[in-house]
A = this chain, B = another copy of it.
Amino acid sequence: MSITTQPSRRNGVDTAKLFATVDAIKAQNEIAKFQFRAQSTWVSGTHSRSRISGFYGAMQEMTHERETVLEADHPDILVGDDHGPTPVEYLLHALAACLTAGVANIAAARGVDLTKVSSTVEGDIDVLGILGLSDGTVRNGYQGVRVTFHVEGDADEETLRAIVEQSRKRSAVYDVLTNPTPVSVEVVTG
Contact = CB atoms under 8 A, between A and B. Distances in A.
B181 A79 contact: no
Main secondary structure of the interface of A (DSSP, over half): mixed
Copies in the complex: 2
A4 interface: no
B129 A101 contact: no
Interface of A: 9, 11-14, 17-18, 21-22, 25-26, 29, 32-48, 50, 52, 55, 57-58, 62, 64-66, 68, 70-82, 84-105, 114, 116-133, 139-152, 157, 160-161, 164-165, 168, 170-190
7 contacts: A34-B127, A37-B92, A40-B121, A87-B98, A88-B176, A90-B94, A147-B185
